[in-house]
Amino acid sequence: MKGKIVKRILCAAMAMTLSLTMLAGCGDSAQKDTPAAEGETIELRLSHTNPASSAFGLAGEEFAKLVNEKTNGRYHVTVYNDGQLGDERDSIEAVQLGNLDFAIVNVSVLANFVPQLSVFDLPYVIQGTEHADKVFKGEIGTQMMDWISGIGVKGLGVWESGFRNLTNSVREINSMEDVAGLRIRVMENELHQKLWIALGADAVPMAWGEAYTALQQGALDGQENPLTVILSNNVASVNENLAMTEHVYSMVVPIMSQKLWDSMSDEDKAAMEEVMAEMMDKEREIARTQNDEALSQLEEAGMVVTYPDKTPFIEATQSIRDEYGAEYSDILEQIAALA
């Protein structure tokens, strides 16, 4: 009998705790349904999957600081690094539902929700950082945000990850012919696989978690990634050759809950847009500084860096742009006109 009484007490306590938790959650949700009142601070969360020291981590903190300053403390953003709140797909869905306020997500992942974005993943569409700035800080960048709004979230601009480059342990890459026969780890993405097949490589789709071991064991000859990723993952210890092929321009988009945006006053919306305009430049500055530093550190680590003529690479991958870009020929022509 005594045991039953204890059990009832414990069950009641658990039910009360659950109720209080749910009420607290509802209170937080309701708080974001209306503009911040005078003297009130609304707590917000920003998620991304990179380290705090990455360009996205540093830019995320700068974003949080500016949001707080420009809204006079009405909004406080906490940045969650290293995928603490879930992977990029989870984050996109959470922002759609209004369960997460902000997320920084890779365009390649976002393209699963917004197919038009896959046009920017085509090889050699973006031909340098100046070209990238003309494209994404102009009308095309605005068009991207319109596409993204179609899935119920607000796009806040385009941030830079950097150009992807090729490394390998077999030979220096001084021409496209030197790529022939190399076993290259590629992302599990059909477009990227066809890119490397067109260049004469043996493209091996593989998760990054498995790729490093395969590179160590010699089952793979090389891989491709932005310079900062090559450095942070210690690729120099398994691949001594780095070719600046710059075949794909990698970027991310900070997205925002539409529910949160709709709840903001006109004054705070204007402040948010001002913040994102500043961050388009600030994040690029951080990313490009980190890429330059990464290249220097990779050379210091003993990597042999080569700069092959990209013209043959561009010509060899034209069929991929024709096949995968046929539906978006208009936007591709606009991009090319800005080069």
Short-list 112, 94, 136, 85, CA closest to 255: 94
Return the ∠ at Cα 283 (arms to 212 and 91), rounded to 5°: 60
pLDDT confidence of residue 106: 92
Q: Buried (b) or exposed (e) across 218-244, using 16+ Cβ within 10 A? A: eebbbbbbbbbbbbbbebbebbbbbbb
CB 118 within 8 A of CB 219: no
pLDDT confidence of residue 34: 65
pLDDT confidence of residue 126: 96
Return the ∠ at Cα 254 (arms to 252 and 116), rounded to 5°: 60
User: In terms of residues, how long is the chain?
Assistant: 339
pLDDT confidence of residue 5: 40
Segment-wise mean pLDDT, segments of 10 residues, the chain, 339 residues? 41 40 36 66 96 94 98 97 93 97 94 93 95 96 96 97 97 98 92 94 91 95 95 95 97 97 96 96 97 97 97 96 92 95
